Structure 1
Amino acid sequence: MKIKAVTVNRFRSYSSPVTVQVDDLLVLVGRNDIGKSTILEALDIFFNEGKGCVKIDKDDINKDCLAQGQDCIEIQVEFTDLPENIVIDTTNQTTLQEEYLLTSEGTLHVIKRYPNAGKEKVFIKANHPANPECTDLLLKKNADLKKILEAGGFDCPDKTKNAELRKAIWGGQANLQLGDCEIEVAKIDAKSIWEQLKSYMPLYTLFQSDRKNSDSDDEVQDPMRIAVREILGDPKIQKDLAQVTKTVKTRLDEVAQRTLKKLGEMAPAIANSLDPQLPDFASLKWLDVFKNVSITGDDDIPINKRGSGVRRLVLISFFRAEAERRKNEANLPDIVYAIEEPETSQHPEHQRALTDALIALSEARNTQVLLTTHSPEIVKRLKFENIILISNQIPTRVSPVLEHGLPYPSLNEVNFSAFGEASYEYHNELYGFIEAEGRLDDYKRSKPLRQYNRLRRDGSTVTEQVILTEYIRHQIHHPENDRNVLFTTAELTESIETMRLYLQA
């Protein structure tokens, strides 16, 4: 499965539903504390259910909503690339389409609600039968389905399989009255449906930018833990572990029988049997066996004891290796890598290498990469369609980044377009691009001139006539020259706008 879209509501800064469309590579940009990381952390809560980086609590409820008595956080994820077949009743194969669990667009739309930031309730929003004669079939047990089948006089070749019973009942209706509805799939009667569906969902792993300085620093440990999760998910290893579980159960039964025999000799009335209760295979926490996996460097020095830059280099190397592996191997599980500010503690050269690795990783099969960033180096190596701007502007809190003046994505341009931030850096970037394209003379033609006092090396000045853009550029690059009136913010904005219009013409 792949994430198509995520929607958050009443969660932290999001007081109303906000939807972000997700592709193989998604990069979120915007000011600090605007809600970029909130999207990634909402997905961590959704997929890892409090066992990942983030645990939901009451402080996550949007304060404005809470003041209005609305305390239910909502996280929705819509999926594409769905499995052809699924198992939701023991071993009976069926399809999401046959079970009417898809939207009218053919996607799987899962909604999780957290009343008062507490235990989740899970719903599937689908184009589902609303006919009272055949609604809620997914919530019914085998005996109930048989009663409905018999009452309707429908024929079913195999009444032992719930999926076959549902198919026969739905197929016998003149009008299913299909329509959008929500099916609660995490309550007792339908819990097996949700447990089975979860097994088809992608692994989701979040690398946060704010690290805790402990001996088990997740920044370095997480790559190994991801590897453990993926390795343990291998069907062959699952089969081996199931055999281990069976062998342990057999040995425990033998111990119990020997104990029972001796107990019968001493007090036969106490017990007729001893049955060791081993958790079923699916609920055994195999990941915990490897929870202390770690990486050490030379002389067995833990990597987390090295500098933050070195730790991030290990992370970069992990992504590069994964990109290469996932391009060359088949039948790999779906995985989503979410990384907050990957540029942290890295020189521009390493930022470029990291960006290339993450782009390559996003192009691998069954892989999606989600980022937040403040790095111009990262942004300029991306395509416009990879970037989403998060702002506090209502109602367009989420908007695509479009080409305006420069032919490549620019963080300076994003900040100017979205927030009206006229920066020296953006002015330099625009001027430099026009100059590099050999179009500076054409740009300057017919524009009004003003006096600029150039400072010579001997301390004397010479008067020149220049356009506003040159006047500003000279002052930015020669702050030691105090012989001119400093340009204003309004003039800086005017010059930037003039260059943008020229490039767009």
Structure 2
Amino acid sequence: MQIRDVFIRNFRGVASARLAQCGDLNVLIGKNNAGKSTILDAINGFFRMVATGSAVDLEGPLSKETNFRRSADDERLEVEIWFGLSPDEFSLIHELIVDEAPQMRNALEGLDTSHALAVTVAAAKGDPPYVYIKSIVLVRKDEDRSADQILLDVGGPAAAELHKKAREAQRFADQARDLEAIGSRLERSDFSMYREGRYSRELLTSIISRSSSSRPRVEVVEDVERILRESSDLAEAIQGIESLASIARKKQEDLETSELANSVDTFSGQSARLPNYALAILQFLGRTKYLHLRDRRSPVGREEAQQLLRLKVRRGGTETLKNIQDTVQSLMGVVIDAFESQPEGRGVRGLNTNAEMDVDEVLVEMNGAGIREALRLVLDNELKGPDVLLVEEPEIHLHPALEMSMLRYLRSASTRSQIFVTTHSTNFLDIYDMRNVYLVSRDNDVEARLIDFVEAEEAIPQQLGLRLSSLFMFDRLIFVEGASDEAVLREIAAKIGLNLGRAGVGFVHMGGARNFTHYATESTLAFLSRRRVQMTFLLDRDESTDEERRKLEGLLGDRARLHVLLRRELENYLSIPAAIARFIAGKKGRAAEGDSVTPEEVSAQLDQVAELLKTNTLERALLRKFCRPLYIDRDRITSASRSADLIELAQAEAARAAAELDERIVELSGDAEAETAKFEERWAREKLALVPGHELIDGVCQQYGIRFKKERDAQRLAGQLDQSEIPEELARLLREVTR
């Protein structure tokens, strides 16, 4: 049976969550503390329960869970899993029901493999708490539950009664086990010690304990004392103990087979007993092999070495070992093997073991964390062969290349096992075609939403280069011109105590302001708005005009925010003398005491370099204003009446463009002086904000024999800023984005 849907209710911080339409490989993404591991724990707890093959589990992990939502007492913790049914599996269920209730054969005719088997495990607040099978139902569609066929439904009173009977039956089973063990192992010397009075209650308890894996109950010790006291010889004592064991077994069996005072619902109606077909279904499900690999995994070592070593001497084991070795070598590029440890030399000092594992002829314990973590996952999966594999953060400690190899391995392994993975790796979305990715988020409640990749691929043109992880793993996106802008903003955010990762902030690199309209398309904005992603477009000021900014804001509307820097570019905010002095000193390696750089010197250099850049900066401003592109508008031609002559329309449009060009010539000759005067007025007070920031800082650095490359050095320079030097404009922007 394969998991089709998972429903979780009132589990830890989850009020109600669902994994819908599960496939072979299911990937859960989301921020820290969103609830990804909680979902895997719930699935693990479900299988721990059904593995007992019983309707009640007295010690399952779900019984120890707490509903941190502090919901009402009647809101029980529930984990419901729907299993898809193959024709053979459906036939098995059909036969089990008919064998027990032949009169229901006709009622089963309307059921087929379009139904799923829905099994619900619930935790009740007893003393102590316990877990039980709440229901087993054949469901067709979740939209119309009227077609459901109940195979078993256990109400609260019936569950409490089953729990009470199970506890009493367990008590008698423990008594019988201890007494049977004592009866088979009681020695003549034990009996003689008692008869001679050379014993104590504690000594007798220890004698009994050596026959059992747990400390015996007080009543068992008292019963054994009484029998020893009343028996004339060892044979009579053993007979008395075995008789008590038989009585305990009989009480256990009577409890397990007795009718319930509170009936349960079954396929054929209400019943005072659990139907045998329901218990058979649970036992069938209980044979499901499951494996939960948590984010904190035990190191690979002796146990795995012994398992590999046993394969060498087991019939057919060498082929299995070869397959495992080939898998590891193709995945990680290393060769593993296991050997008997040698008395001298190669054994791990201080370890009592007879097997050790080598990775490329080096003890596994001597390898790095990445190799050991990858081996942990691969060996557990290959040696244990689970039907359901739950993996938390398989990318931990892995190099990006090995991370991608691990993803390929999981995709391959999902043809043999159904796999559920939690991850923070964007590669799991960006590299391969994924169809079962769930975005887990927490607002008032945990929500697991199946990502619609088809919609994303239709809405977001591939040529934009937007990674799918940017669309689904972040709640807030900042569109910046390049990678150095992201690096600077992240550095500043860290300095003012903002955790961009925790706030779900991601960055998209547009490759320059010229690409703004490509990213601010209607389809992209509409899709991200439906995803409730907050969008901020951050642009350098350069020589942009107020009119141009208004046009850009019009494209975004109220779906995204546009922030145009008050200074020319981000690097202008880094032109702080003290920070640049520290940057230069650090890059030069503080060569000599007499070669130190002072903020005063840097301030003077900034002023001098800015003057050198003045003419070029003015020319760029004039060129931007007067030499902007002039286009022949095709829409004006094609949208006109079809009765008009195409040539005439084209000539009219060309005449319009020529007239606009004449206007620009007049404008250039008349306004150039005015624009220059306006520039000069601003220059006196804003020169360091007007010139290209990266050229300004590089010019200063050249005076000290070094270079400034913004792609490499911008983040490093931002790291030199003191708290008091953080630009308020950028700090305010980041606070607003993360609010």
1:398 and 2:407 correspond: no
Structure 2 residue aligned with 1:72:
76
Alignment of 1:36-435 (within 5 A): 36-49=36-49, 55-56=60-61, 58-65=63-70, 68-70=72-74, 72-84=76-88, 85-86=91-92, 89=96, 99=108, 106-116=115-125, 117-126=129-138, 189-196=274-281, 198-199=283-284, 202-212=288-298, 296-297=357-358, 303=364, 307-315=368-376, 317-318=378-379, 335-362=387-414, 364=415, 367-383=417-433, 385-394=435-444, 397-401=447-451, 403=456, 409-417=467-475, 420=476, 427=486, 431-432=508-509, 434-435=510-511
Q: Deviations over 1:242-269 (max 9, x none)?
A: xxxxxxxxxxxxxxxxxxxxxxxxxxxx
| Contact 2:6–2:81 (8 Å) recurs in 1 | yes
| Contact 2:42–2:79 (8 Å) recurs in 1 | yes
TM-score, normalised to structure 1, is: 0.54
CA distance in 1, matches of 2:116, 2:363: 45
* Aligned Cα root-mean-square deviation (Å): 5.7
**CA distance 1:449–1:312, change in 2 (3 Å):** closer
CA distance in 1, matches of 2:131, 2:28: 29
| Contact 1:76–1:112 (8 Å) recurs in 2 | yes
Structure 2 residue aligned with 1:9:
9
Q: Deviations over 1:262-281 (max 9, x none)?
A: xxxxxxxxxxxxxxxxxxxx
Q: How far is 1:375 from its partner?
A: 1.8
Aligned residue-pair number: 365
| Contact 2:301–2:357 (8 Å) recurs in 1 | no
Q: Secondary structure at the residue paired with 2:137? A: strand
Q: How far is 1:347 from its partner?
A: 1.2
| Contact 1:37–1:340 (8 Å) recurs in 2 | yes
1:478 and 2:484 correspond: no
Q: How far is 1:449 from its partner?
A: 7.2
Q: Deviations over 1:428-458 (max 9, x none)?
A: 78554x4399947977894567533656998
TM-score, normalised to structure 2, is: 0.39
CA distance in 2, matches of 1:224, 1:103: 47
Structure 1 residue aligned with 2:33:
33
CA distance in 2, matches of 1:442, 1:122: 54
CA distance in 2, matches of 1:334, 1:313: 17
Q: Which amino acid letter does the alignment assign opposite residue 203 of structure 1?
A: K
Q: Secondary structure at the residue paired with 1:356? A: helix
Alignment of 1:439-478 (within 5 A): 439=515, 446-447=548-549, 450-452=566-568, 460-461=609-610, 462=613, 478=714
CA distance in 2, matches of 1:476, 1:414: 29
Q: Please, which runs of 5 or more residues in structure 1 have no aligned partner?
A: 129-134, 140-180, 226-230, 233-291, 323-332, 497-505
CA distance in 1, matches of 2:372, 2:110: 43
Which has more helix, going by share of residues?
Answer: 2
CA distance in 1, matches of 2:82, 2:507: 39
**CA distance 1:126–1:199, change in 2 (3 Å):** closer
CA distance in 1, matches of 2:86, 2:98: 19
Q: How far is 1:341 from its partner?
A: 0.4
**CA distance 1:43–1:303, change in 2 (3 Å):** farther
Deviates more, 1:208-217 or 1:86-95: 86-95
Q: How far is 1:343 from its partner?
A: 0.7
Structure 1 residue aligned with 2:524:
none
Deviates more, 1:408-417 or 1:345-354: 408-417
Q: Please, which runs of 5 or more residues in structure 2 have no aligned partner?
A: 53-58, 141-148, 154-264, 311-315, 318-352, 488-505, 520-538, 550-563, 585-604, 625-688, 695-708
**CA distance 1:394–1:82, change in 2 (3 Å):** farther
Q: Which amino acid letter does the alignment assign opposite residue 416 of structure 1?
A: F
**CA distance 1:191–1:436, change in 2 (3 Å):** farther
Q: How far is 1:12 from its partner?
A: 1.0
Identity of aligned residues (%): 17
2:730 aligned to which of 463, 488, 497: 488
CA distance in 1, matches of 2:49, 2:17: 21
| Contact 1:27–1:388 (8 Å) recurs in 2 | yes
CA distance in 2, matches of 1:298, 1:98: 60
Q: How far is 1:211 from its partner?
A: 2.5
**CA distance 1:187–1:215, change in 2 (3 Å):** farther
**CA distance 1:55–1:12, change in 2 (3 Å):** same
Q: How far is 1:398 from its partner?
A: 2.0
Q: How far is 1:76 from its partner?
A: 0.3
| Contact 1:96–1:102 (8 Å) recurs in 2 | no
CA distance in 2, matches of 1:102, 1:3: 19
Q: Which has the larger radius of gyration?
A: 2
| Contact 2:48–2:61 (8 Å) recurs in 1 | no
**CA distance 1:105–1:50, change in 2 (3 Å):** closer
Q: Which amino acid letter does the alignment assign opposite residue 435 of structure 1?
A: G
Q: Deviations over 1:283-319 (max 9, x none)?
A: xxxxxxxxx9987336999846855323223146559
CA distance in 2, matches of 1:372, 1:449: 39
Structure 2 residue aligned with 1:143:
none
Q: Which amino acid letter does the alignment assign opposite residue 33 of structure 1?
A: N
**CA distance 1:198–1:377, change in 2 (3 Å):** same
Q: Secondary structure at the residue paired with 2:372? A: helix
Q: Which amino acid letter does the alignment assign opposite residue 368 of structure 1?
A: Q
| Contact 1:217–1:304 (8 Å) recurs in 2 | no
Q: Secondary structure at the residue paired with 1:359? A: helix
Q: How far is 1:115 from its partner?
A: 1.2
**CA distance 1:489–1:376, change in 2 (3 Å):** farther
